[in-house]
Structure 1
């Protein structure tokens, strides 16, 4: 059986690409590694942020929907994103940085049994910085031009929080189908790891009854988990089908190949290959500088560009 090595990326909804771009590039210090469009609806931007090359496990992605309303929080949703930082000293650096930039944040505390600092982006997306204790995605690369010093840079995705009505249903999908290990359990939450002892494939599942979340700006659309290549993706496609879930089938996203399915609580998962990656149509020096389109959309470039508002580059 193949092993899931961790998270691949996570995708959210934003109302304003320029505001989003400013926050994730200039305040969080991530590299914008790709400006592209939603391949299923090319009228909207799809922005990717990550490490120097947008390595799997470091990517935060956003679909811009200018007319989107607010999120009505509830259950059956992905509810918080953990981002790894190197040390407890980093949490103090970030707390001060958030104060200077007017970012909504809490106090330094613990989250998923690690020192942590909760915060929100300008649209209310809930995030948390978690001390990695040296754990990070093995191929994470420093972004030398980041506004954040190397010693405190975000090192990719850590614990992802999912809130559901039926914890046991999701627990069985993670452990029985994907081979995650359950590492802790209380009455209404459990922690699972794709590689035991490693935080970069960790999922914290909380049980909560009540109305389901109604997504809007600052909500999380789906979590993508990693596989090596198309051979492994084909293996997981058969497993998803065997489990009784319907899937999208394998989709070529140009930067990676993917498969989408919803588990029993309605949480949307993507399974995505590591390659070919964001250097498939750009060199490392110029990643994320201009609109890149997959080959099948290139003939429509003029039409697509006419529908998109330019992204303002604020310092």
Structure 2
């Protein structure tokens, strides 16, 4: 039986690609590893940020939708993204950095049983930095980051999912994907894909009430990792056997994946590690130009004409 080695990426909605680019590159110090388009709607940017090569488990991705309105927060949604930093000292570094750049943030506290610092991006996306000695094993330092190596974000940690039917989500995570439940109270449960490791953790929260209405700063889906095509085929069959409707396997060029919604309507993607973002770029030039998968390349001129240039703004 195959296991899930952690998160692959997570995808959100942003209203403004230039503002988003500045925040994640210059303020958070991540590398922009791919500028491409939404393959289902090439009129919109799809931006990827991560470590030096955009390793699985480090990728934050954004669809630019300029007409997106406010997010009306509610239940049955992915509601917060955890990012790992090396130490409690790093949290103090980030608190000072957020104050310098007027980033909305809380005081240092705890989240998912770890020292933590909650903050929001310019779209109102909810994130949290967690101090953890654990890190994704293949994470690579980005030497040109605006953040010192000893405080750099080292990938995705706990992902918060808020649902009306917590037990339904638990059944999917445990019975289908083999996650381990590591804690639970009346309104929250924590699951790990690799027991003892933060980088594949899901914090499931119970909340009744209206379903979230997505907009800028909302989270579209969570992608979890599989190593290769063989494992993806296996999980495709598991999804089918449990009665979930799926997209079937889709070739995204940089990885293959499938999509399905669990019983609360949460959209999951299952994505392969390979071939990765260097399939059409060398490591040094990642994210420096618009890359298109081969099936869209013939439409490059038309696609570029519809995309506003991303403005670069240096760190002050």
Q: Shorter-normalised TM-score: what interval? A: over 0.9
In the alignment, structure 1 residue 204 sits paired with structure 2 residue 203: yes
Where do residues 47-62 of structure 1 align in structure 2 (5 Å cutoff)? 47-62=47-62
* Corresponding position of 1:87: 87
Post-superposition Cα deviations, 1:14-62, rounded to whole Å, max 9, x if no partner, equal 0000000000000000000000000000000000000000000000000
> d(CA) in 1 for partners of 2:263 and 2:167?
10
Post-superposition Cα deviations, 1:257-301, rounded to whole Å, max 9, x if no partner, equal 000000000000000000100000000000000000000000000
In the alignment, structure 1 residue 32 sits paired with structure 2 residue 18: no
> d(CA) in 1 for partners of 2:206 and 2:17?
33
> d(CA) in 1 for partners of 2:305 and 2:66?
15
Post-superposition Cα deviations, 1:64-114, rounded to whole Å, max 9, x if no partner, equal 001111100000000000000000000000000000000000000000000
In the TM superposition, structure 1's runs of 4+ consecutive aligned residues that sit over 3 Å from their partners are none
TM-score, scaled to structure 2: 0.99
> d(CA) in 1 for partners of 2:296 and 2:138?
30
* Corresponding position of 2:250: 251
* Corresponding position of 2:4: 4
> d(CA) in 1 for partners of 2:99 and 2:184?
34
In structure 1, runs of 5+ residues without a counterpart are: none
Question: SS of 1:158's equivalent?
Answer: strand
Shift of 1:193: 0.1
Question: SS of 1:259's equivalent?
Answer: strand
In the alignment, structure 1 residue 171 sits paired with structure 2 residue 170: yes
In structure 2, runs of 5+ residues without a counterpart are: none
> d(CA) in 2 for partners of 1:205 and 1:3?
20
TM-score, scaled to structure 1: 0.99
Q: CA RMSD in A?
A: 0.3
> d(CA) in 1 for partners of 2:95 and 2:3?
36
Question: SS of 1:293's equivalent?
Answer: coil
Question: SS of 1:45's equivalent?
Answer: strand
* Corresponding position of 1:75: 75
> d(CA) in 2 for partners of 1:283 and 1:313?
21
Shift of 1:256: 0.2
Shift of 1:132: 1.4
